[in-house]
């Protein structure tokens, strides 16, 4: 490869042939792979600000039977892992093989830091990379284009031809990465699937602190005591969150034409409508348990209203009222599983990220839940929230400038003929669908009402973050994207199925491009997608 690298710092670390039948462990268990060449490489190797070794590492699999397509696999969370490069289409989609199985050349990358090398227990653990300005920038998206270019260069040499089509697929932080490509490097991909896009990551982290303070107000100890993280999951029992879901369904379930446990017309479901129904479930003074207190209802109102400063100015977005509220996948983020002692991802992931990656100057935290909770509880929405836009010292660019990818200005992506599918759960507990809907409306305005010619947004009622919840959360967005890119068939609906962990295993529904809603046609089984129209 000498002389063929777009970036001369690129270095192959390993290259091995894998015969058909080799295995890799995935979230769903071991996966048998087809014959392929497996490559790991690094570029931009350097010594960081605190003497740590940094590099952008990537992982590429080149199948023997190539379909002439390139697949960039998005990352997740705080990154720091090079990824398995198999091209999983989605979490738990029965019968849908990973991209490597169908002939895609697949790359994944670590976003410029390595959790095995750059973790510092006394400085936020795996979030310590946020103290290094370049590592923070690489995480924000600077690592992406060099990896895409290096992978394409290897593909051209290995197969003696360039990819005919290139696709990006990611969810959460991976969805943010898809938005980075569309916004900053629009020529790289013909099609992008951006699931639950974290394109407002710093603002969403502020909302996580807001939610934590709201829920913690139900158990806040005396001024001389620290709130124990193990107390946060007890702020709502499973039965009490079931009451929240019941109130939402009683108020809004029929808005889409049928009572079926799915609030497809979630935009019609407002707090002003739901709160009176919640009030009917308030505990009598002498009662406790399977009922709600007025304080709990007030906290829910604060959470759904989104974070604000003392002047009442919004700092992120409101949240949809949707029947996935309070599900296991929802509360995993907000307060943690019931009776688990785990305070939720908003605390253990959100607070350290906000402290060390999303604010300037960064705040250094010990890597433990108590320190994370303490930081979230003392976060001041007047004093500290503006720090996501601040610069200073070693950070000439703000975290918002480096990491956010919320721009609706996608003229370059549209001009090159790119197509994008955005899919997100209406009960996503960490990135508000309302923020994504607002972004789409901005894109539509800038494109004269023709955003749907190149980007389509599919809301998934009931679904939590990327998957889970009482939802038809099994769907193949990549197949829909490929038909759009290669056959010129824009997706007017995407078939989705409810998995075995839902209240209705096997139920199917159409996912509809926003602003359309899946409405009951008036006849036919409510378990079948054919009985619903996108209107």
Q: What does the alpha-carbon distance between residue 19 and residue 358 come to, in Å, rounded to a whole number? A: 43
The pLDDT assigned to 96 comes to 81
In a domain, 520, yes or no: no
Q: Is residue 139 part of a domain?
A: yes
Is 515 inside a domain boundary? no
Domain annotation covers residue 509: no
So what's the pLDDT on residue 290?
83
Q: What is each CA distance from 400 to 120, 145, 173, 177, 381, in whole angstroms? A: 24, 19, 14, 14, 16
- Give yes or no: residues 61 and 192 share one domain: yes
On whether both 22 and 57 belong to a single domain, the answer is yes
Tally Cβ neighbours within 10 Å of residue 280.
Answer: 11
Strands 29-32 and 23-26 turn out to be antiparallel
Q: What is the pLDDT, as a whole number, of residue 315? A: 98
Do 34 and 122 belong together in one domain? yes
Residue 519 has φ and ψ, to the nearest 5°, of -115, 145
Q: Is residue 382 part of a domain?
A: yes
SS (H, E, C) 222-238: CCCCCCCHHHHHHHCCH
Q: How many CA atoms lie within 13 A of 398 on its CB side?
A: 14
Residue 193 β-bridge partners:
169, 421
In a domain, 519, yes or no: no
Range of the domain at 430: 11-199+404-497
pLDDT tens digit sequence for 27-55: 777 889 999 999 999 999 999 988 899 99
The pairing of strands 494-497 and 508-511 is: antiparallel
User: Which pLDDT does position 124 carry in this prediction?
Assistant: 87
Looking at residue 58, what DSSP letter applies? E
- Inter-CA distances, 192 with 146, 174, 486, 523, Å: 17, 11, 13, 36
> Domain check: are 235 and 329 in the same one?
yes
Domain boundary among 367, 401, 435: 401
Which position has the higher pLDDT, 27 or 337?
Answer: 337
- Do the Cβ atoms of 178 and 478 come closer than 8 Å? no
Same domain, yes or no, for 212 and 278? yes
Does the bond joining 119 to the residue before it have cis omega, within 30 degrees of 0?
A: no
Of the candidates 215, 207, 208, the one whose C-alpha atom is nearest the C-alpha of residue 234 is 215
pLDDT of 60 higher than 80 = yes
For residues 219 and 195, membership in a common domain is answered with no
Q: Is the per-residue pLDDT at 91 higher than 60?
A: no
Task: Tell me: do 151 and 53 sit in the same domain.
Answer: yes
Last residue within a domain, chosen from 401, 425, 445: 401
**Span 217-227, average pLDDT:** 75
Please, which pLDDT band fits residue 285 given cuts at 50, 70 and 90?
low
| Domain match, 385 and 420 both | no
Q: pLDDT tens-digit profile of 387-431?
A: 999 999 999 999 999 999 999 999 999 999 999 999 999 999 999
- On the 0-12 / 13-18 / 19+ scale of CB atoms within 10 A, 396 is exposed
Residue that terminates a domain, selected from 378, 401, 424: 401
pLDDT tens digits, 226-240:
899 999 999 999 999
Task: Tell me the pLDDT band of 94, cut-offs 50, 70 and 90.
Answer: low
Shared domain for 275 and 305, answered yes or no, is: yes
Residue-level pLDDT at 377: 96
pLDDT exceeds cutoff 60 at 286: no
Q: What are the tens digits of pLDDT across the range 125-154?
A: 999 999 999 999 999 999 999 999 999 999
- What's the chain's average pLDDT? 95
Q: How many CB atoms lie within 10 A of CB 239?
A: 13
Does the structure show a pLDDT above 90 at 224? no
CA 22 → CA 25, 33, 38, 68, 396, distances in Å? 10, 5, 11, 22, 46
Same domain assignment for residues 262 and 396: yes
pLDDT at 1 over 60: no
The CATH number for 478's domain is 3.40.50.1820
pLDDT of residue 26: 76
- The percent of residues in the chain predicted with pLDDT above 90, rounded, is 90
Task: Tell me which long-range contacts 508-516 makes (C-beta under 8 A, separation of at least 24).
Answer: 508/472, 509/262, 509/264, 509/472, 510/534, 511/423, 511/458, 511/459, 511/460, 511/472, 511/475, 512/458, 512/459, 513/452, 513/456, 513/457, 513/458, 514/437, 514/440, 514/456, 514/457, 514/458, 514/459, 515/267
For the segment 360-377, the average pLDDT, to the nearest whole number, is 96
Average pLDDT over residues 290-319: 97
- pLDDT tier, 384 (very low <50, low <70, confident <90, very high otherwise): very high
Same-domain status, 24 and 118: yes
Number of domains in the chain: 2
* Active site residues per annotation: 172, 428, 465
Q: Would 239 be classed as within a structural domain?
A: yes
Per-residue pLDDT band at 93 (split at 50, 70, 90)? low
Residue 202, pLDDT above cutoff 90: yes
Reported pTM = 0.96
pLDDT tier, 280 (very low <50, low <70, confident <90, very high otherwise): very high
415 and 385 in a single domain? The answer is no
């Amino acid at each position: 490869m000498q002389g063929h690298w777009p970036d001369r710092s690129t270095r192959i670390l390993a290259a091995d042939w894998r015969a058909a039948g080799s295995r890799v462990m995935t979230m769903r268990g071991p996966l048998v792979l087809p014959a392929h060449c497996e490559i790991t490489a690094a570029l931009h190797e350097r010594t960081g600000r605190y003497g740590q070794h940094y590099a952008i590492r990537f992982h590429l699999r080149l199948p023997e039977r190539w379909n002439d397509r390139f697949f960039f696999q998005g990352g997740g969370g705080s990154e720091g892992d090079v990824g398995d490069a198999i091209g999983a289409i989605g979490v738990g989609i029965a019968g849908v093989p990973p991209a490597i199985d169908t002939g895609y050349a697949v790359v994944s990358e670590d976003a410029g830091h390595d959790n095995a090398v750059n973790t510092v227990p006394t400085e936020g653990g795996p979030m310590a990379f946020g103290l290094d300005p370049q590592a923070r920038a690489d995480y924000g998206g600077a690592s992406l284009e060099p990896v895409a270019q290096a992978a394409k260069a290897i593909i051209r040499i290995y197969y003696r031809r360039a990819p005919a089509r290139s696709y990006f697929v990611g969810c959460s932080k991976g969805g943010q990465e898809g938005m980075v490509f569309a916004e900053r490097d629009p020529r790289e991909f013909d099609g992008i699937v951006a699931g639950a896009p974290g394109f407002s990551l710093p603002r969403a982290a502020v909302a996580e602190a807001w939610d934590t303070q709201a829920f913690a107000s139900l158990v806040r100890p005396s001024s001389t005591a620290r709130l124990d993280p193990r107390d946060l999951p007890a702020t709502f029992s499973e039965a009490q969150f079931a009451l929240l879901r019941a109130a939402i369904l009683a108020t809004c379930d029929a808005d889409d034409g049928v009572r079926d446990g799915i609030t497809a017309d979630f935009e019609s479901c407002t707090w002003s409508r739901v709160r009176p129904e919640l009030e009917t479930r308030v505990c009598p003074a002498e009662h406790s348990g399977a009922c709600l207190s007025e304080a709990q209802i007030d906290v829910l109102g604060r959470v759904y209203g989104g974070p604000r400063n003392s002047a009442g100015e919004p700092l992120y977005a409101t949240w949809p009222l949707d029947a996935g509220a309070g599900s296991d996948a929802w509360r995993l983020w907000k307060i943690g599983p019931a009776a688990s002692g785990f305070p939720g991802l908003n605390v253990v992931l959100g607070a350290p990220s906000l402290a060390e990656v999303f604010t300037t100057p960064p705040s250094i935290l010990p890597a433990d839940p108590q320190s994370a909770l303490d930081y979230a509880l003392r976060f001041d929405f007047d004093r500290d929230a503006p720090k996501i836009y601040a610069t200073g010292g070693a950070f000439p660019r703000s975290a918002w400038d480096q990491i956010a990818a919320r721009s609706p200005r996608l003229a370059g992506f549209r001009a090159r003929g790119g197509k994008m599918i955005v899919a997100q759960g209406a009960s996503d507990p960490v990135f508000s669908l309302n923020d994504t809907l607002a972004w789409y409306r901005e894109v539509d305005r800038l494109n004269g009402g023709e955003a749907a010619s190149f980007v389509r947004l599919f809301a998934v009622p009931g679904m939590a973050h990327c998957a889970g919840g009482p939802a038809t959360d099994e769907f193949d967005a990549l197949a829909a994207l490929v038909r759009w890119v290669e056959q010129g068939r824009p997706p007017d609906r995407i078939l989705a199925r409810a998995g075995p962990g839902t209240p209705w295993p096997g139920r199917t529904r159409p996912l509809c491009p926003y602003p359309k809603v899946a409405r009951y046609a008036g006849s036919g089984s409510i378990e079948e997608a054919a009985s619903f129209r996108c209107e």
